[in-house]
A and B are shown apart, each in its own frame.
Chain A
């Protein structure tokens, strides 16, 4: 699977920086998901991971257009790959930071929340759980991301059941996002990398990070673990 045009990987100090490339919506189709998973797997040896994006969007969610033209038996691979990516992030032996450089909608928002820390662009971009507007239900593991990572009842309702666009100041106030950063995309990326570098500097044992993280979000982990790169069944599962 050609990944060069979908995301780039750079090391900045101890930080493994993955950037979704191009000015598009970074729709999470099987190709992009596969590229991100490969990029995540390539983080071995780093002290922390940052996922960022170029352009106006972090990710606008699943690629419905692709799904419409895909053969029925392949439509499920998109959900399966996403589930696998969440598992890979939960099992990653280093801290993870999402640099929300632009809009993060639906599965894009879910992907953000699957990280340990979230740094968001202050003046542009929003979190938007569009499913209620688009008429899409939430499968169980996906809802679990929000049940584990957005524990407050009001926040969960407001994020999932209002079809609202939540900008950084509100997201920080509600505790959904850790920090808002002024400036452009590069400023957000730099802040996320700086945060990741600070985490890497703690010198934590990566295996311990992974074990504690899986224990902290046990419901989510139990629902995604069989889809991760390290899961026993992974080798048998078809990958595009």
Chain B
């Protein structure tokens, strides 16, 4: 389902195999476990680490496993509920994060990519696509909160959520959704790792990095269930740093 390796200061999380990497219970659980290992390893590795999430095959992720859910609303809700803490884990991760969008990222898969600080995407194939409007599914509140937090240009948000626009890498970059565009999947992964290495080399305190990240979009953090640190706790942190 997924593998985790450490290359120097960069953790590389790979969604394995040629399939759609549908976010069903097994994959979500594997990803949560991997992300938890990254957070734990970061604690012992000290400042200066980063995460890259990459996928094999034609898909980054095609979203929640709606095949498994079928016509069952409760099952679909289960998957929505299961993905939420993974989003929270990524938003709270004490290191910079880069999504190497090496294939299609739709619905929950697009959300997964957005949960990272940076996105590098292949130009030759693959689209970012919020399919919900086309398939007639309303958006879970935390999905909307994440998109509102990360896609702040009104017409871009409209195009993505309300038009079901399928974005190739170049247009996504123009819209401020993707940071870098690379020719193919190998270059995309390499560029993502290179960016992650540059970020890791800054040796930022992971807890501080995550705190600043969360203070950039507190509503999205709240919507995925993160309880932001109070000012009082932050001030205690200042005092300890003097």
Chain B proximity mask over A115-135: 1 for CB below 8 Å, otherwise 0:
000000000000000011111
The answer to whether A135 and B239 touch across the interface, beta carbons within 8 angstroms, is: no
Which of A68, A154, A161 is within 8 Å of B176, CB to CB? A154
The answer to whether B176 and A152 touch across the interface, beta carbons within 8 angstroms, is: yes
The answer to whether B216 and A157 touch across the interface, beta carbons within 8 angstroms, is: yes
Report the minimal beta-carbon distance from A105 to chain B, rounded to whole angstroms.
15
- Note all chain B residues with C-beta closer than 8 A to A160: 212, 215-216
- Note all chain B residues with C-beta closer than 8 A to A135: 204-205, 208, 241
Q: Is B222 an interface residue (CB 8 A)?
A: no
The answer to whether B216 and A75 touch across the interface, beta carbons within 8 angstroms, is: no
Main secondary structure of the interface of B (DSSP, over half): helix
Known contacts A132-B209, A152-B176; is A137 also within 8 Å of B216 by CB? no
Report the minimal beta-carbon distance from A158 to chain B, rounded to whole angstroms.
9
Known contacts A135-B205, A139-B235; is A151 also within 8 Å of B152 by CB? yes
The answer to whether B215 and A138 touch across the interface, beta carbons within 8 angstroms, is: yes
The answer to whether B152 and A137 touch across the interface, beta carbons within 8 angstroms, is: no
- Note all chain A residues with C-beta closer than 8 A to B152: 151-153
Q: Is A136 an interface residue (CB 8 A)?
A: yes
- Residues 188 to 217 of chain B near chain A (Cβ within 8 Å): 202, 204-205, 208-209, 211-213, 215-217
Known contacts A153-B149, A160-B216; is A138 also within 8 Å of B204 by CB? no
Task: Name the residue in B150, B212, B217, B235 with the highest tally of chain A Cβ atoms < 10 Å from its Cβ.
Answer: B212
- Note all chain A residues with C-beta closer than 8 A to B150: 153
- Note all chain B residues with C-beta closer than 8 A to A143: 212, 215-216, 218
Report the minimal beta-carbon distance from B169 to chain A, rounded to whole angstroms.
16
Q: Is B158 an interface residue (CB 8 A)?
A: no
Q: Is B75 an interface residue (CB 8 A)?
A: no
Main secondary structure of the interface of A (DSSP, over half): helix
Tally of contact residues, B, Cβ under 8 A: 31
- Note all chain A residues with C-beta closer than 8 A to B211: 137-138
Known contacts A132-B204, A133-B202, A135-B205; is A147 also within 8 Å of B216 by CB? yes
CA separation between A153 and B220, bound complex, in Å? 12
Known contacts A133-B204, A136-B208, A153-B149; is A68 also within 8 Å of B242 by CB? yes
Known contacts A135-B241, A163-B204; is A76 also within 8 Å of B216 by CB? no
CB closest residue in chain B, given A140: B231
Report the minimal beta-carbon distance from A137 to chain B, rounded to whole angstroms.
4
The answer to whether A153 and B208 touch across the interface, beta carbons within 8 angstroms, is: no
Report the minimal beta-carbon distance from A86 to chain B, rounded to whole angstroms.
15
Report the minimal beta-carbon distance from A46 to chain B, rounded to whole angstroms.
34
Q: Which size class do A's interface residues fall under?
A: 20 to 34
- Note all chain A residues with C-beta closer than 8 A to B235: 76, 79, 139
The answer to whether A137 and B215 touch across the interface, beta carbons within 8 angstroms, is: yes
Q: Is A72 an interface residue (CB 8 A)?
A: yes
Known contacts A153-B150, A153-B151; is A136 also within 8 Å of B216 by CB? no
The answer to whether A137 and B212 touch across the interface, beta carbons within 8 angstroms, is: yes
Chain B proximity mask over A56-99: 1 for CB below 8 Å, otherwise 0:
00000000100110001001100100000000000000000000
- Note all chain A residues with C-beta closer than 8 A to B204: 132-133, 135, 163
Q: Is A221 an interface residue (CB 8 A)?
A: no
The answer to whether B215 and A161 touch across the interface, beta carbons within 8 angstroms, is: no
The answer to whether B239 and A75 touch across the interface, beta carbons within 8 angstroms, is: yes
CA separation between A75 and B242, bound complex, in Å? 10
The answer to whether A152 and B153 touch across the interface, beta carbons within 8 angstroms, is: yes
The answer to whether B231 and A132 touch across the interface, beta carbons within 8 angstroms, is: no
Chain A proximity mask over B136-166: 1 for CB below 8 Å, otherwise 0:
0000000000000111110000000000000
Top 7 A-B pairs, shortest CB-CB distance:
A143-B215, A137-B211, A137-B234, A153-B152, A135-B205, A139-B231, A68-B242
Interface of B with A (CB < 8 Å)?
96, 117, 149-153, 176, 179, 202, 204-205, 208-209, 211-213, 215-218, 228-229, 231, 234-235, 237-239, 241-242
Provide a sorted-by-A list of 11 A–B residue pairs whose CB atoms are within 8 angstroms.
Answer: A72-B239, A132-B208, A135-B241, A137-B211, A137-B238, A143-B212, A151-B152, A153-B149, A160-B215, A161-B213, A163-B204
Interface of A with B (CB < 8 Å)?
64, 67-68, 72, 75-76, 79, 131-140, 143, 146-147, 151-154, 156-157, 160-161, 163
A-B contacts besides A137-B212, A152-B153, 14 pairs, CB < 8 Å: A68-B242, A72-B239, A135-B204, A136-B208, A138-B212, A138-B215, A143-B216, A152-B152, A153-B150, A153-B151, A153-B176, A153-B216, A154-B176, A161-B117
